[in-house]
Structure formats: C-alpha cells, structure tokens
Chains A and B, each alone.
Chain A
C-alpha cells in the first residue's frame, strides 16, 4: 500500500521560494501513476497545483502563472514542488497525492504540511 509523507519549511518569507517534497513508500514512484500536489488555504477548498509522471512529464495549473516547478527523483523515490515569488495567498496546507492514471482520481494522500508565508 502506497504511503506518502510531505516535508516542508513551515515558514517562507514573501517573495521567496516555497519548496516541499514528498516521500513515497510502499511502491515505486515509477508505477505508471501521476504524482500530484494539491493545496488548501486555511478554511477553504482544494486547489490542484500540478502533477508529474515518472518520465518527468508535467502538467501545471495555469492560474499559477509559471511560478511552479515539479521534479522527481526515482532513485530516492520522492518528488518535489517549488513555488516562486510567494505571497500570503500561498499560505496553505500542501498535500501530495497519487493520481491514478486509469481513472483520474487521487487514491492516496499524504497528511499534508502547513506552509505559512509571512515576514
């Protein structure tokens, strides 16, 4: 059974870069599924950030206007997210999740990591 665990900085300064990573255990990151980031501002709904496949192919949310970069490391079985030029609006719980390719749904989620943007 796949398990995911996020790790992040907790606090990032405005205009800085947010970097979070997700460790995958219980299966290979090369299992033909997509690996995604979803965020949730406190008290609000879910927002898809983007996804990456084992080949390195990525899809990003257009609303994030080129601030997003995702990468993966098959040797370490983990994937990462970088979000640049952050503002207070980027304060959220960041979840990593497995997006099952065959039915386009997230079947496994990490517990989430809260990232606060503040000086």
Chain B
C-alpha cells in the first residue's frame, strides 16, 4: 500500500490550525499511525490506531479518518511543532508516507 502525504510543506503561524493528509492506494485494513520527527532526532509516535494519542502527546494533536483517507490535525500550532510528520500503515507490508514538513512562521 502506497501512502501519499500532502501537502509536502505547510507554512503557518503560531496559533493557526494545521491539517495534514495521508491517502492510501488501497484500504488500510490494519491501523494507521502518525509520527513527528525533528531534525537530528528519531521519530516520535504521536497517534496510533488512527486516532489514539500516544503517551504524553498534547491534546492539540488529533488523528482521524478510515479506509483510504486519514488526517492529522494540529489545532493551534506551537513553535515546537515545527517538524516533519509521517504516516505509517502495516496492512500487508509496512509502509511510510513521504512526509509533510510543517514550518512555523
């Protein structure tokens, strides 16, 4: 399953809402996860099973969607949310999306 993330880059101001899309080439029959990766760091799990927040993840991060369309919403951007965000699924083989870079103006 190919995961396509859009947009490639999102440039927003603090306090604005970010909407990140992850589209699958086929129905995701297992679970979908979202990760945040900052420069020089390992990825960090944000969301699993499409909408459950991982331990310690702020409530401004929300996952939604099913089937082939998934969304990560950051309700009110903070400066520390500047990062690349990846989606991931494991229906047949495990795949990652290409990532969305979120820049804070």
Contacts and interface: CB of A to CB of B under 8 A. Distances in A.
Interface residues of A, number: 22
Interface in A88-119: 95, 99-100, 103-107, 109-112
A59 interface: yes
B83 interface: no
A62 B48 CA distance: 24
Nearest to B54: A107
Interface in B6-55: 30-31, 33, 35, 37, 42-45, 48-49, 52, 54
Interface of B: 30-31, 33, 35, 37, 42-45, 48-49, 52, 54, 86, 88-90, 93-99
Contact of A48 (B30, B48, B96): B96
Contacts of B97: 45
A103 B54 CA distance: 11
Given A51-B94, A59-B94, 5 more contacts: A45-B98, A45-B99, A46-B35, A104-B48, A105-B49
B93 A104 contact: no
**Those 6 A-B pairs whose CB atoms lie nearest each other, nearest first:** A105-B33, A109-B42, A104-B90, A105-B48, A48-B94, A46-B96
A61 interface: yes
A48 B99 CA distance: 14
B88 A45 contact: no
A46 B42 contact: no
Interface of A: 36, 38, 45-48, 51, 59, 61-62, 95, 99-100, 103-107, 109-112
A62 B42 contact: no
Interface centre among A46, A48, A99, A109 (most CB of B within 10 A): A46
A46 B34 CA distance: 12
Q: Which of A99, A103, A109, A112 has the most CB of B within 10 A?
A: A103
Contact of A107 (B37, B45, B98): B45
Given A45-B98, A105-B48, A59 B93 contact: yes
A45 B86 contact: yes
